[in-house]
Amino acid sequence: MPTLDLPAPDPARLAEAREAIAAARRVVVLTGAGMSAESGIATFRDALTGLWSRFNPEELASVEGFCAAPERVWDWYAERREGVRRAQPNAGHEALAAWARAHPGCMCVVTQNVDDLHQRAGQPDVVRLHGDILAVQWLDESACRKRPRCDPAQAAEASPGRPPRCAHCGNLARPGVVWFGEALPTDALDRAQRLADECEVMLVVGTSGAVWPAAGLAGRARRGGARVVIVNPDESEIDGQAHLVLRGTAARVLPRLLGAAVGV
């Protein structure tokens, strides 16, 4: 979990970042697990505790692991879904959403998170690189023989199975997230890369910079001429791409960075 007892960011650096954002016509925000940590949502690996600590991540987040033990994987994601549903957007989510609403068309959030806290905070434009933990999809999208194809969300509601199966072809429903060994959704990645090329400021919040290709977006934005500002309580693997690093958590730094522009 992020360190919560850091001092407030350096006022001069904060002012410089605030000026860069205020002058930008296009701001892209890249968020990672630290963005939601203060809402009580554990990171992927932090969730591997208790009953789940004896499993390797690939056993719970891969097609192979799901096919080997579908009930086990389904139950783990069901537990994580409940955690997401209980969580509430924190002050960082609220600050981003308020700024975006006050500056229509100027901000897009690209997130590595699979929760829906940005959306519940009212963020108008969110690109989800790693999927949606509250959504379901078919294990084999081409297997359903019915036309039009059955809706996996309806199957999940109607079937008592763990995981649910298609009533017509027996296809298994699975969580709507990107697993190990899977490519990111093409449309989401393409849009994120275009946004990185076009933005004037990229604000990177709560990511370790260890997961690619998302970690490459900051460098891509900088090469395109954008100012890169990182908000993180700890060092990240992409700090070297930043013009400014603000040490602190999302809920503490973002209201200070963005709040004055929207009167909060």
Task: Please name the residue ranges forming H helices in 11-151.
Answer: 11-23, 33-37, 57-60, 63-68, 70-86, 91-102, 117-121
The catalytic position among 93, 103, 118, 130 is 130
In the 8-state DSSP scheme, what is residue 49?
Answer: -
DSSP 160: -
Integer Rg of the chain from CA: 19
Query: Tokens representing 118?
Result: 């940005």
Task: Please state the φ and ψ torsions of residue 182, each to the nearest 5 degrees.
Answer: -105, 150
Both tokens of residue 14? 């904060």
Round to whole Å and give the CA distance between 244 and 253.
Answer: 13
To the query of whether residue 130 is one of the catalytic residues in this protein, the response is yes
d(CA 213, CA 209): 10
Residues identified as active-site: 130
